[in-house]
């Protein structure tokens, strides 16, 4: 595999997206934070996050609230050092109310392949547990599990 650094090709951009999905599905804030620059800038919904320590705090809060989190990301477009992604994830709160959250992310990378900017727009849709589509054991999505496009999402 070619190094996952800019300038991206379709192959390296898709691998970068799958690597991000795998990391987030680990629900390990420390692990996830290491793919971002020390001074990475995020806009996540209406929250503004600066640097790895804030990323770790944000992800810790997120996964304490969003239980049984399972995420699928899909490459939308890419250029030299930017990637656009669409995603959906399913989760429930502590009252067992289920949601599917849909969104888009714009990513910008430094020359070493670390993400220096992440801009995310996300919407939450309440769903019934019976309407869930993401059924795999906690952790990495199996390679044979349908993609967002395969699921019609």
Domain segments of the chain as ranges:
10-131
Which tens digit of pLDDT belongs to each residue from 87-144? 999 999 999 999 999 999 999 999 999 999 999 999 999 999 999 999 999 999 999 9
Residue 120: Cβ-neighbour burial (10 angstroms; 0-12, 13-18, 19+):
middle
Given a cut of 80, whether residue 69 has pLDDT beyond it is yes
Which tens digit of pLDDT belongs to each residue from 7-46? 999 999 999 999 999 999 999 999 999 999 999 999 999 9
What's the whole-model pTM score? Answer: 0.95
Q: Which residue has the tokens 């969003």?
A: 66
Given a cut of 90, whether residue 3 has pLDDT beyond it is no
pLDDT the model gives residue 2: 63
**Which residues neighbour 3 within 8 Å (Cβ) at sequence distance 6 or greater?**
12, 113
What average pLDDT does the chain have?
Answer: 97
Q: Which residues pair with 124 in a beta bridge?
A: 101
10-131, what's its fold? Nuclear Transport Factor 2; Chain: A, (3.10.450)
User: Cα(153)–Cα(148) distance, rounded to whole angstroms?
Assistant: 5
């Amino acid at each position: 595999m070619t190094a996952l650094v800019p300038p991206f090709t379709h192959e390296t951009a898709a691998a970068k997206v799958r690597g991000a999905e795998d990391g987030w599905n680990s629900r390990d804030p420390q692990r996830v934070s290491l793919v971002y620059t020390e001074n990475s800038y995020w806009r996540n919904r209406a929250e503004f996050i600066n640097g790895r320590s804030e990323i770790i705090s944000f992800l810790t809060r997120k996964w304490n609230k969003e239980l049984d989190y399972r995420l699928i990301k899909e490459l939308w477009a890419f250029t030299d050092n930017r990637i656009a992604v669409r995603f959906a994830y399913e989760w429930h709160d502590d009252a067992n109310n289920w949601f599917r959250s849909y969104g888009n992310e714009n990513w910008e990378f430094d020359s070493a392949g670390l993400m220096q900017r992440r801009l995310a727009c996300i919407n939450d849709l309440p769903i019934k547990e019976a309407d869930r589509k993401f059924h795999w054991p906690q952790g990495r999505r199996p390679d044979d599990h349908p993609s967002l496009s395969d699921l019609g999402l």
